[in-house]
């Protein structure tokens, strides 16, 4: 490369081109809840949309039974067990207090029925039957639970038993509870029906599902929890118009408070948050100036869809700009990565998405490039361009 072109190259600067996004006026909106611990998670992305003390480990009570269910479903998925595998009932399981499926000592129960008992009526006895038949004891099963938790990224959780009966070593964060619920829903679709059964009958005893969200629009799970230490909690899931959300509330003083608080938060999850597609795969988002090319500009495109789920006020305040070294030097091949599209939302660090040349730009001849180079030397490019 000649000294002339090296001089031109030294004059290159970072172009910042504003990209228009469709949004209105920013309005001050916030989410409030009476729950000491709460969270809203987007089902598609796993993004946390709202959180309150959601990363602090808490006693999860029977919400920890989701991990017992997840271990069993994972073993079914890998072929180690089947849904019809018979599990025997020990006297210890039969004698366990608290919420019960009312298993009978000495009987054998198919695994899928025990999972119904764990989810629908929160049976401590059913959870012990599963733990003993898989691992031999609660402690050995808790080791499996902890290994699975580590593998699934539940970094704020530790398990000491399969049922959630109070133990100082049994802790989960609301974030982990929601992540686990999402993992179960996404990984084991054949067993989603278990989480919305309205009732269960076993040993001639019919019990209703205690989940206060079932019956609301789109609600389909997932698990309640209550002990004196933990208070009342629930992890809920629902889908409306193709959008899935998970909510967690915990630490509430009564079952009535749990029901009303969870219902409000679930409605908030759908009414106050929106998923917006800013750009789809292959959308052209602007153009960049080209030096030494047969064309003076090259169109820029994104290679993947850019979707975000945020509070409606944040979506309204979104802005975007293109960042690239200007001018781009010819030749340019279609698909060359040329910079980033930066999207900023109020109160968040900007997020960068790569942008690529949408077309090929051939190089000019030497004489033509030298003429352009001389003009460029005496007319430095602006640091910021507007569309």
CATH of the domain at 8: 2.60.410.10
The pLDDT value given to residue 4? 30
* Residue whose entry in the numeric block shows the structure tokens 């999860």: 60
Q: Are residues 62 and 183 in the same domain?
A: yes
Tens of pLDDT, residue by residue over 192-201, are 999 999 999 9
Q: Are residues 311 and 227 in the same domain?
A: no
Q: Are residues 64 and 169 in the same domain?
A: yes
Q: Are residues 203 and 346 in the same domain?
A: no
Please give the model's pTM, rounded to 2 decimal places: 0.82
Give the end of a domain, one of 243, 271, 299. 271
Give the end of a domain, one of 271, 296, 322. 271
Q: Are residues 163 and 259 in the same domain?
A: yes
| Model confidence at 352: pLDDT above 90 | yes
Compute the distance between CA of residue 195 and CA of residue 222 in angstroms, rounded to an integer: 5
List active site positions. 62, 65, 122
Rg (alpha carbons) of the chain, rounded to whole number: 28
Is residue 223 annotated as involved in ligand binding? yes
What average pLDDT score do residues 46-72 get? 98
Average pLDDT of every residue of the chain? 90
Q: What is the dihedral of CA 48, 45, 315, 23, to 10 degrees?
A: -170
Q: Are residues 258 and 289 in the same domain?
A: no
Q: Are residues 106 and 222 in the same domain?
A: yes
Token couple for 172:
């989960």
* Residue whose entry in the numeric block shows the structure tokens 């996404």: 186
Number of folded domains that form the chain: 2
Q: According to the 3-state scheme, what is the secondary structure of the chain?
A: CCHHHHHHHHCCEEEEEEECCCCCCCCCCCCCCCCCEEEEEECCCCCEEEEECCCCCECCHHHHHHHHHHHHHHHHHCCCCCCCCEEECCHHHHHCCCCCCCCCCCCEEEHHHHHHHHHHCCCHHHHHHHHHHHHCCHHHHHHHHHHHHHHCCCCCCECCCCCCCCCCCCEECHHHHHHHHHHHHHHCHHHHHHHHCCEEEECCEEEECCCCCECECCEEEEEEEEECCCEEEEEEEEEECCEEEEEEEEEECCHHHHHHHHHHHHHHHHHCEEEEEEECCCCEEEEEEEECECCCEEEEEECCCEEEEEEHHHHHCCEEEEEEEECEECCECCCCEEEEEEEECCCCCCEEEEEEECCCECECCHHHHHHHHHHHHHCCCCCCECC
Give the end of a domain, one of 214, 239, 271. 271
| Model confidence at 2: pLDDT above 80 | no
Q: Are residues 197 and 55 in the same domain?
A: yes
Q: Are residues 299 and 255 in the same domain?
A: no
| Model confidence at 385: pLDDT above 50 | no
212 in a structural domain: yes
Q: Are residues 241 and 310 in the same domain?
A: no
Name the residue range of residue 250's domain.
37-271
The pLDDT value given to residue 372? 53
| CATH code at position 160 | 3.40.710.10
Q: Are residues 63 and 17 in the same domain?
A: no
The pLDDT value given to residue 368? 54
Q: Are residues 263 and 357 in the same domain?
A: no
Least confident interval from 11-20, 208-217, 242-251: 11-20
What average pLDDT score do residues 73-86 get? 98
142 in a structural domain: yes
């Amino acid at each position: 490369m000649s000294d002339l072109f090296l001089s031109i190259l030294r004059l290159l600067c970072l172009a910042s081109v504003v990209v228009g996004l469709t949004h209105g006026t920013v309005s001050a909106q916030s989410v409030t809840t009476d729950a000491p611990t709460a969270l809203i998670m987007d089902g598609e992305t796993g993004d946390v949309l709202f959180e309150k003390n959601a990363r602090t480990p808490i006693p999860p009570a029977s919400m920890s039974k989701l991990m017992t269910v997840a271990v069993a479903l994972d073993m079914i998925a890998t072929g180690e067990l089947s849904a019809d595998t018979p599990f025997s009932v020990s006297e210890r399981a039969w004698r366990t207090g608290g919420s019960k499926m009312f298993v009978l000592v000495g009987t054998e129960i198919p695994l899928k029925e025990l999972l119904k008992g764990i989810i629908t009526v929160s049976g401590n006895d059913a959870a012990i039957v599963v733990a003993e038949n898989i691992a031999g004891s609660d402690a050995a099963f808790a080791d499996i639970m902890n290994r699975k938790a580590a593998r699934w990224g539940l970094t704020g959780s530790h398990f000491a038993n399969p049922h959630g009966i109070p133990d100082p070593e049994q802790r989960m964060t609301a974030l982990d509870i929601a992540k686990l619920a999402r993992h179960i829903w996404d990984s084991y679709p054949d067993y989603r029906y278990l989480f919305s059964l309205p009732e269960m009958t076993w040993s001639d005893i019919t019990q209703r599902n205690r989940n206060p969200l079932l019956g609301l629009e789109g609600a389909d799970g997932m698990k309640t929890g209550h002990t004196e230490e933990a208070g009342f909690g629930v992890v809920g899931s629902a889908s409306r118009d193709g959008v899935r959300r998970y909510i967690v509330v915990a630490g509430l003083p009564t079952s009535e408070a749990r029901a009303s608080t969870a219902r409000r938060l679930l409605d908030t999850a759908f009414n106050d948050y929106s998923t917006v597609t800013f750009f789809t795969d292959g959308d052209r988002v602007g153009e960049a100036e080209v030096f030494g090319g047969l064309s003076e500009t090259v169109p820029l495109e994104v290679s993947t869809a850019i979707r975000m789920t945020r509070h409606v006020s944040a979506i309204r305040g979104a802005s975007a700009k293109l960042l690239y070294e200007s001018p781009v030097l010819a030749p340019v091949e279609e698909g060359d990565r040329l910079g980033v599209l930066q999207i900023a939302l109020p109160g968040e660090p900007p997020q960068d998405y790569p942008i690529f040349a949408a077309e090929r730009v051939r190089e000019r001849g030497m004489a033509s490039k030298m003429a352009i180079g001389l003009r460029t030397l005496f007319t430095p490019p602006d640091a910021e361009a507007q569309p």
